[in-house]
Structure 1
Amino acid sequence: MLDDEPDFLPPKPEEIPDRLARKWEERETKESLVVCRNCGKQVLASSSVCAYCGGRLSNGKKPFWVMVAAAVLILFSILFFLRRWV
């Protein structure tokens, strides 16, 4: 027997428990926006790619290999100068 109503209906806003509603509101307020350097539109800070232009968003951190290369370069320069003075 077929009913006109579907088996599952999403809950009405007043039926959502307060705890879940507060959690959702907290999540929304924690999500900050950043401006894309390519197109200038605001996108979520947690995104790695702009939703509008597809440009890559940097998170302000340098890649790991850049940090390792800098450390090796500094180490070799220190050893070079110490070797010249000794």
Structure 2
Amino acid sequence: MDSFQRAASVQCGKRRIALFKLEDGVYAIDDVCSHEFSLLSEGEVWEGEVYCVKHGSRFDIRTGKVLSLPATKDVRTYEVKVEDGYVYVRC
């Protein structure tokens, strides 16, 4: 779990998933912004939100809800389990 500081990108089948390490746990959401292709794992993280680097849309990391335009569609969240230092994502 300590192998990434704040965000990481992983591939699960055809899906790109962004992992975020927050104070209260590890969360997983779609890595691609719902507005236009841009990796959310490369965005800035502030207070549980990630900012898309391309156009500035914000998403709640815990729920996947879109918080600002230009994105209008939420991103999918994934169940995460941390066990013995390994991060498991149900995708």
Same fold (TM over 0.5): no
Query: Which has the higher relative contact order, 1 or 2, with Cα contacts under 8 A spaced 6 or more apart?
Result: 2
TM-score of the pair, normalised by structure 1 = 0.25
More helix per residue: 1
Max radius of gyration: which structure?
Answer: 1
More strand per residue: 2
TM-score of the pair, normalised by structure 2 = 0.24
